[in-house]
């Protein structure tokens, strides 16, 4: 399934479920739901979550914004934490690195540095650092597309954000799970419990085909209907 469909369906259903179950919808919960809806594809070296969702031009804009944000946040803290200067340089290099191998190396170093030295800004730096390291070492549709991936992501969110309430880790966990369920609709499906060979696949679509596009549009329409219902319920 295409990244756009994952993003809209995963985020929309996750936030709707939160609303219908009486949980607070915060900006952090919405952001984590969006990340969780795309996160299983972090193991795809050509995507880094977003290349399947945004156009090339938009990706370049995003890269520039990321570099600007990195410079503002990391250089601003350079006096109290000199290692931030190194992180800022690495982020700039990774954003425009054409080589997949070198990009992986740089991203892994960034993740390790953030996770190790950024704990004073916990939970977000630790969480981001772990994810960056993971994306460089796992094969596509491997560990991240399993029940173990759901458990690891939800546990990581719970351990680092529970002090802010249940909305964040619930949104992230639901969105991640929905990504796997959506991928199970494809002809390739997923292997949810390796090393068991069993595959979960319903063979309803193939990504990039006309039939696949119809299934994705139907999923988006149903998501919008659920979101409208959740909004209406909040006024009752």
Q: Percentage of the chain with pLDDT > 70?
A: 57
Residues whose CB is less than 8 angstroms from the CB of residue 63 and which lie 6 or more positions away in sequence, other chains included: 95, 96
> Using CA atoms, how far apart are residues 178 and 48, in angstroms rounded to an integer?
19
CA 121 to chain centre: 20
Residue 80: per-residue pLDDT? 46
Residue 162: per-residue pLDDT? 84
Please tell me which residue, 4 or 63, carries the higher pLDDT value.
4
Domain boundaries, the chain: 1-44+141-236, 53-139
Span 195-203, average pLDDT: 91
> Using CA atoms, how far apart are residues 48 and 63, in angstroms rounded to an integer?
12
User: Which tens digit of pLDDT belongs to each residue from 15-50?
Assistant: 999 999 999 999 889 988 988 898 887 655 444 444
Residue 164: per-residue pLDDT? 85
pTM over 0.75: no
203: left (phi over 0), alpha (psi -120 to 50) or beta: left
Please answer whether residues 11 and 175 qualify as being in contact, where contact means their C-beta atoms are separated by less than 8 angstroms.
yes
> Using CA atoms, how far apart are residues 216 and 7, in angstroms rounded to an integer?
11
Phi, psi of 205, rounded to the nearest 5 degrees: -160, 165
Please answer whether residues 76 and 68 qualify as being in contact, where contact means their C-beta atoms are separated by less than 8 angstroms.
no
């Amino acid at each position: 399934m295409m990244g756009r469909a994952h993003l809209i369906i995963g985020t929309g259903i996750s936030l709707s479920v939160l609303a219908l179950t009486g949980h607070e919808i915060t900006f952090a919960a919405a952001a984590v739901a969006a990340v969780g809806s795309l996160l299983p594809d972090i193991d795809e070296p050509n995507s880094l979550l977003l290349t399947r969702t945004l156009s090339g031009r938009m990706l370049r804009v995003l890269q520039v914004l990321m570099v600007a944000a990195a410079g503002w946040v990391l250089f601003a803290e350079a006096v109290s934490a000199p290692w931030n200067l190194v992180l800022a340089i690495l982020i700039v290099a990774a954003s425009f690195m054409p080589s997949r191998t070198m990009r992986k190396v740089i991203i892994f170093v960034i993740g390790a540095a953030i996770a190790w030295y950024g704990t004073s800004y916990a939970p977000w730096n630790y969480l981001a650092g772990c994810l960056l390291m993971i994306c460089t070492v796992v094969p596509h549709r491997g560990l991240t597309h399993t029940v173990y991936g759901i458990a690891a992501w939800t546990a990581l969110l719970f351990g680092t954000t529970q002090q802010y309430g249940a909305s964040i880790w619930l949104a992230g966990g639901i969105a991640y799970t929905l990504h796997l369920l959506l991928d199970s609709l494809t002809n390739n499906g997923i292997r949810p419990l390796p090393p068991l060979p069993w595959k979960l696949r319903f063979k309803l679509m193939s990504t990039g085909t006309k039939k696949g596009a119809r299934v994705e549009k139907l999923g988006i329409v149903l998501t919008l209907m659920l979101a409208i219902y959740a909004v209406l319920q909040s006024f009752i």
